[in-house]
């Protein structure tokens, strides 16, 4: 059983390492462009990692595609446009501000604004309820209690 478990762990770890295929470039400029592009593009599976950082199979497929296009001599903008056309603006870590991405850019601020409004309204409501006005009878009774000496003291 232990031998089987060890073999399974080794096979899974080698599969994970095999997913990241090293590429050979014709020039250092191509390699630099490839690295910059894979840092700018988001892994669609991981969502919080770039293509360069992700170990997902889809990320490897996208890295292969970026590599192929870089080696073919396509410009950075052509590569980005191709991936955006295929996967949408979400593939970009910094998507452009446009109708489809307004919530992506301003949604967190909108949520924060609404949360602040809720907190302000809640605290104002509680502040009004916490200090109600005393009636004349209650005010006179309070003054009488405050003038009376504490128990155990003569006065």
Q: Fill in the DSSP letter of residue 92.
A: B
State the pLDDT at residue 93.
Answer: 80
pLDDT of residue 23: 82
19 or 151, higher pLDDT: 151
CA separation (Å) from 90 to 33, 35, 55, 66, 137? 21, 19, 18, 16, 66
Is it the case that residue 29 has pLDDT exceeding 70? yes
Which residues, 6 or more positions from 151, have their beta carbon under 8 angstroms from its beta carbon?
none
pLDDT band at 127 (very low <50, low <70, confident <90, very high): confident
pLDDT band at 130 (very low <50, low <70, confident <90, very high): low
pLDDT score, position 3:
66
User: How many CA atoms within 13 Å lie on the side-chain side of 140?
Assistant: 3
Nearest to 61 by CA among 85, 77, 74, 44: 44
- What pLDDT score does 136 carry? 87
What are residue 149's phi and psi, to 5 degrees? -70, 150
């Amino acid at each position: 059983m232990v031998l089987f478990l060890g073999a399974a762990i080794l096979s899974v770890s080698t599969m994970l390492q095999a997913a990241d295929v090293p590429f050979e470039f014709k020039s250092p400029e191509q390699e630099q462009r490839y690295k910059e592009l894979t840092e700018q593009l988001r892994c669609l599976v991981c969502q919080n990692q770039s293509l360069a950082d992700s170990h997902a199979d889809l990320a490897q497929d996208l890295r292969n595609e970026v590599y192929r296009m870089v080696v073919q001599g396509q410009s950075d903008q052509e590569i980005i446009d191709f991936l955006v056309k295929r996967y949408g603006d979400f593939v970009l870590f910094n998507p452009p501000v446009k109708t489809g991405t307004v919530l992506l850019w301003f949604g967190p601020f909108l949520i924060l604004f609404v949360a602040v409004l809720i907190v302000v309204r809640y605290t104002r409501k509680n502040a009004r309820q916490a200090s109600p006005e005393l009636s004349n009878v209650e005010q006179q009774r309070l003054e009488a209690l405050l003038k009376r000496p504490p128990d155990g003291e003569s006065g």
